[in-house]
Amino acid sequence: MTVTPDLRDANAVARAVGLPEAPEIWRRTWPQSADSFGAGEVFFLTEDWVPRACEALRVSQEVTTALQDCAAAVRESPAMQRLAWHLHWLLCLSGLSPEVSAWPRLSDDHPAGPMLYGLVVLSGWPHLREIHAARGLDLEITLDTMSDLDTWTRDWHAWEGGYRFTALGWMQHHLRGQLLQLGRLQYLPGSYHHAFRWYRHTSTGRVIALAEDGLLFREDGQFASADGSSVRRGLWRSSFTETVSRVTGQPVTPEGKVLPEAVTLDTAEWCEVLRRGDPVMTVHIPSRGRMDPASCGESFARAVAVYREHYPDVPYRAFTCQSWLLDPQFEQLDPAPPNICAFMQEWYLHPVERAAEEQTWERVFDLFGHSQPDWENAPQDTSLRRALVAFARQGGHMRGGGGVIFPKDVGDWGRQGYRARGGVA
């Protein structure tokens, strides 16, 4: 006979579902969700709720089935019901920081284990719709924003086989109303953390970035820490000085490298528009969908309009992105991937610390948490894969990059505005 644990005790519930103990965030908040819990009354565990929610969110049938199986397993156990409700409450209703990085993973052997956190994310979509509706957002934005549940679960299946949801840390931003998907791209408020200072000419509108003081670069204009710090020849260190009337430093080209020859800007003509710590809108690129340049441009234009109309209280000075898709070396491939290059060329690119190649191999070759491909036997069924295999066999190493687009320049999308105007004074 199965003994029901004391549902008032977070540790007892944790042990009943196969965990050694509940994390501190669960124990501390456990009593606060007790009054709203009723065994057999959790709305997202009813037999028909998951399929209806998945249909509304356009979740694939395979992921829908995995979520239904999870919900059925949770229904079988009062302890699992209590835990699922507390996680829903903590993530969606409490107003507290859920500290999801401390949430343990249930055993793979537990029938609800692989998809429990996916089920909790799914449970939050009605609350997210309320958040979006209060801002005046269309339902379609909510549906698009929630599509990451299906995307990340299917990505896991492509990488590892089976269906598991592991992106709770990422999707907490969705459920708290912080991240929006607007067409092809996603937007999340953040702060600028790269070591560059950005200036705009007051009359021409030209933009230039200068490296902060004391940074170590190599002769190709990348950080010395890139590629695992494997390149040690031609190293040099940046210098940056500023007075009331002038700033002097090494410039970054719009193509994403830092030049060793310093330039001086007259502050009567150049206005600083971005520095470390300033509010920005970080841009994220969902893994599914083509990098169609027109769709990306439409997404940026839509983001400017949506944040102006519906989020006037959210400040940001620039759109920023750090991604494997902003590696200038894509332009060197044969053939160069046209959509990736067209997307990248609209940004003012800059190098990033500790740039590495792993994410490129993960995304292009469906590797995740594994070593780089065996280049002798790597699949070459697409032009991008063939080009990357040839590049790697010649000793090349891909690396991610960063980029900035200022809101007032979004209207120049499609014209490679930063490159056309030139970044170096």
Residue 281: HSE in the Cβ half-sphere, 13 Å Cα cutoff: 23
pLDDT of the residue at 371: 62
Distance, CA of 296 to CA of 342 (rounded, Å) = 10
Q: Give the three-state DSSP class for 124.
A: coil
Distance, CA of 240 to CA of 213 (rounded, Å) = 5
Which one, of 192, 188, 195, lies nearest residue 169 by Cα? 188
The answer to whether 385 and 171 are in contact (CB under 8 A) is: no
CA 347 to chain centroid = 17
Q: Give the three-state DSSP class for 175.
A: helix
CA 98 to chain centroid = 19
pLDDT of the residue at 376: 84
Distance, CA of 111 to CA of 91 (rounded, Å) = 22
pLDDT of the residue at 373: 77
Which one, of 393, 346, 397, lies nearest residue 222 by Cα? 397
pLDDT of the residue at 366: 75
The answer to whether 207 and 236 are in contact (CB under 8 A) is: no
The answer to whether 412 and 342 are in contact (CB under 8 A) is: no
pLDDT of the residue at 1: 46
Domain residue spans of the chain: 10-178, 180-356+399-425
Distance, CA of 339 to CA of 225 (rounded, Å) = 29
Cα–Cα distance list, 210 to 205, 250, 421 (Å): 16, 5, 16
What residues are paired with 338 via a beta bridge?
A: none
The answer to whether 5 and 12 are in contact (CB under 8 A) is: yes
Cα–Cα distance list, 233 to 28, 189, 214, 224 (Å): 53, 38, 18, 9
CA 150 to chain centroid = 15
pLDDT of the residue at 370: 59
The amino acid that residue 14 corresponds to is A
- Rounded to a whole number of angstroms, the distance between the first and last alpha carbons of the chain is 78
Going from the first residue of the chain to its last (425 residues), give the mean pLDDT of each consecutive group of 10, the final group possibly shorter: 83 96 97 94 96 98 97 96 98 95 93 96 97 98 97 89 94 96 98 98 96 97 95 95 97 97 98 98 91 94 98 98 96 95 97 93 74 80 93 92 98 95 69
Lookup: tokens for 150:
């299906």
Which one, of 242, 169, 179, 168, lies nearest residue 211 by Cα? 242
The amino acid that residue 250 corresponds to is Q
297 burial level (CB within 10 Å; 0-12, 13-18, 19+): buried
Q: Give the three-state DSSP class for 341.
A: helix
Residue 377: HSE in the Cβ half-sphere, 13 Å Cα cutoff: 1
Scanning 42-93, the segments in alpha helix (DSSP H) are 49-57, 61-75, 78-88
pLDDT of the residue at 326: 97
Cβ atoms < 10 Å from Cβ of 69: 17
